[in-house]
A and B are shown apart, each in its own frame.
Chain A
């Protein structure tokens, strides 16, 4: 669900790509009907992947750039959890903001002997 909500980024006018979101939606549908005779929304994940792969490899440079930008922006939205500062991304375990973990649980927990590795006394080799 959270990944679906992230698609909203494509029509967000903050990003230049929003001007082309109608084109992208209709082009995907056109490609779906041409290849599978069904609307894009009804296709399986594998079928959608095939269509996107074709579009990303389009000979038309503008189409290729638009699809590349759309996939890039969607990935950024999903992996970055940008719709909500606290949301993060469950897919990748990104916890999002304002999720303070006690430092004792994350730092120095591997008990690596670090001092013996150094060349300097203070971390500032001359």
Chain B
């Protein structure tokens, strides 16, 4: 097996990985990025509903009550997300556990995060959507909220010269989306980082250091990896600094698989997964509303309401799923017809004909507690569970009632949405599906409460960092990408201040924050 040395090994290339890769390369360190998924970017994206393409890049981990979706490929989720780039509200940082302890480390709040959000905003060129670019569905949602006297915000996006093709979630073929392919990753390479795709890290082992006072850049970890798929080449890397940025699912799975090589691994690894409690409700617009259009304009409809954030812990928007996303989300049936219509056949076709112009689907993201857990089965495959389902069921019922009330009071005909699994079988009872999962290696003030400290460093393992969504300790009630990126910038600055060979140049960045957590 070939052995290679590097200063920094970054696992993953998404929102949690790209910032450390860039900042540590800028700090004069040799950076190696290993991405499990394929090399993919604007030149390879397709505007398609073909599962053969989608399943190559979009992966899932499911259980009876929870389904997580994530991307694998260069740039991670940044290639396939809806470009929504919102800061988590203050209330998200102030959440507490059942014992009244703050979920986030004491040093991290919306106020301390704002400079890092500023930096992330500038790197992704985030801007609020202009009024004349809000898609029709977003405008209809705003009209519904306005009729009831509720507030609504124009959302913020990482995009330039959007053409509104409606295929953000299969990858932007026009290069308008400001995914990591057009900022962090090329800049990291320019600063000296190397990127290898189809490189799956299979295990991490902490090395025993010979000397009592090793130099900061003496290798501390042996990381095994397979490059080029199942029949590929096994390579091991020796590195003093390992930064895990493979996402909530990927990072927890890798660490759990590495438990032999990391015998003091925190018991919190794999636990406390927050899933931003997404709940949906759908309806058919009444005749006095204009037509919407599910398939025109950007994938996200442009408007979001914080009206119920303080009272219910939720934000509300509408969604514009492509047909396959809609099928994957659930069985749709008109709910005011007796007997209940079938979920297939001629009657269902009549309902599906209304989807494009007359259907509105409300979606809430909420501050649900971190109740998901990843463990490994006997074969070492990740397994997902939810702890404390009773509270979740109540949350789901109450949130759906809020959404349903908005639809009812606007005169919409109700549609029931029955969750299904990947084979189309219904999920009875409470079920949450999301692409906004966080946690699994959460930051905390002490090892009793989390897996990594406020600087992202694993308790008991100097030089081993978690900088991705896995480190985020709570639900955010908004899309998670910007918070993951801003936090990764914050963690990267701390690592660079400690190990960097040259001071990192962060254009317009919060230099006063460097090294502080």
Q: Which residues of B contact A45 (CB under 8 A)?
A: 346
Set B135, B303, B356: member contacting A94, Cβ < 8 A: B356
The CA-CA distance from A97 to B171 in the complex, in Å, is: 12
Would you call B143 and A110 a contact (CB within 8 A)? yes
Set B150, B154, B162, B349: member contacting A123, Cβ < 8 A: B154
Known A65-B423, A117-B145, A120-B153; contact A109-B163, beta-carbon cutoff 8 A: no
Set A49, A107, A126: member contacting B346, Cβ < 8 A: A49
A124 within 8 A of B: yes
The CA-CA distance from A125 to B86 in the complex, in Å, is: 9
Q: Which residues of B contact A1 (CB under 8 A)?
A: none
Would you call B424 and A94 a contact (CB within 8 A)? no
Q: Which residues of A contact B47 (CB under 8 A)?
A: 85, 96-98
B122 within 8 A of A: no
The CA-CA distance from A117 to B110 in the complex, in Å, is: 24
Q: Which residues of A contact B495 (CB under 8 A)?
A: none
Q: Which residues of A contact B154 (CB under 8 A)?
A: 114-115, 118, 123
Would you call A114 and B131 a contact (CB within 8 A)? yes
Would you call A103 and B295 a contact (CB within 8 A)? no
Known A68-B425, A69-B423; contact A97-B167, beta-carbon cutoff 8 A: yes
Known A103-B297, A118-B153; contact A110-B136, beta-carbon cutoff 8 A: yes
- Of B2-10, B190-198, B320-328, B391-399, the segment with at least 4 beta carbons within 8 Å of chain A is B320-328
B139 within 8 A of A: yes
Would you call B356 and A126 a contact (CB within 8 A)? no
Quick one: which of A77-124 are within 8 Å of B by CB? 79-82, 85, 89, 91-98, 100-101, 103, 105-110, 112, 114-115, 117-120, 122-124
Counting chain A residues whose Cβ lies within 8 A of the other chain, the interface size class is 35 or more
Would you call A85 and B50 a contact (CB within 8 A)? yes
Would you call B323 and A107 a contact (CB within 8 A)? no
Would you call A101 and B164 a contact (CB within 8 A)? yes
Set A52, A93, A94, A109: member contacting B136, Cβ < 8 A: A109
Would you call B135 and A80 a contact (CB within 8 A)? no
Q: Which residue of B lies closest to A14 (CB)?
A: B52
B128 within 8 A of A: yes
B134 within 8 A of A: yes
Known A68-B425, A80-B327, A92-B323; contact A108-B86, beta-carbon cutoff 8 A: no
Would you call A114 and B342 a contact (CB within 8 A)? no
Q: Which residue of A lies closest to B174 (CB)?
A: A100
Q: Which residues of B contact A89 (CB under 8 A)?
A: 323
Q: Which residues of A contact B48 (CB under 8 A)?
A: 82, 85, 97
Q: Which residues of B contact A105 (CB under 8 A)?
A: 296
Would you call A124 and B167 a contact (CB within 8 A)? no
Interface string of B141-179 (1 = CB under 8 A from A): 011011000111111100000111101001000000000
A75 within 8 A of B: yes
Would you call B132 and A79 a contact (CB within 8 A)? no
Set A56, A75, A97, A112: member contacting B327, Cβ < 8 A: A75
Q: Which residue, B89, B170, B352, B425, has most C-beta atoms of chain A within 10 A?
A: B352
**Distance between A120 CB and nearest chain B CB, rounded to angstroms:** 6
**Distance between A14 CB and nearest chain B CB, rounded to angstroms:** 6
Q: Which residues of B contact A97 (CB under 8 A)?
A: 46-49, 167, 170
Q: Which residue, A53, A119, A123, A126, has most C-beta atoms of chain B within 10 A?
A: A123
The CA-CA distance from A117 to B303 in the complex, in Å, is: 10
The CA-CA distance from A101 to B132 in the complex, in Å, is: 15
Q: Which residues of B contact A49 (CB under 8 A)?
A: 345-346
The CA-CA distance from A120 to B162 in the complex, in Å, is: 24
Would you call A108 and B133 a contact (CB within 8 A)? yes
Known A73-B424, A125-B89; contact A114-B346, beta-carbon cutoff 8 A: no
**Distance between A71 CB and nearest chain B CB, rounded to angstroms:** 5
Q: Which residues of B contact A96 (CB under 8 A)?
A: 47
Q: Which residues of B contact A85 (CB under 8 A)?
A: 46-50
The CA-CA distance from A124 to B127 in the complex, in Å, is: 11
Known A85-B50, A97-B167, A124-B156; contact A107-B134, beta-carbon cutoff 8 A: yes
The CA-CA distance from A123 to B163 in the complex, in Å, is: 21
B306 within 8 A of A: yes
**Distance between A41 CB and nearest chain B CB, rounded to angstroms:** 18
Would you call B153 and A80 a contact (CB within 8 A)? no
Q: Which residues of A contact B142 (CB under 8 A)?
A: 112, 114, 117
Known A68-B423, A97-B48, A114-B142; contact A82-B135, beta-carbon cutoff 8 A: no
Would you call B297 and A79 a contact (CB within 8 A)? no
Q: Which residues of A contact B163 (CB under 8 A)?
A: 100, 103
Q: Which residues of A contact B152 (CB under 8 A)?
A: 114, 117-118
**Distance between A26 CB and nearest chain B CB, rounded to angstroms:** 21
A76 within 8 A of B: yes
**Distance between A32 CB and nearest chain B CB, rounded to angstroms:** 17
Q: Which residue, A68, A76, A93, A110, has most C-beta atoms of chain B within 10 A?
A: A110
**Distance between B301 CB and nearest chain A CB, rounded to angstroms:** 10
Apart from the given pairs A110-B290, A114-B134, 8 other A-B contacts in the complex at a CB distance below 8 Å: A69-B425, A71-B344, A97-B167, A103-B163, A115-B154, A119-B151, A123-B128, A123-B129
A-B contact pairs, 16 of them (CB 8 A): A49-B346, A52-B345, A76-B324, A82-B324, A93-B357, A106-B164, A107-B135, A108-B134, A108-B139, A112-B142, A114-B131, A117-B142, A117-B152, A118-B151, A120-B153, A124-B87
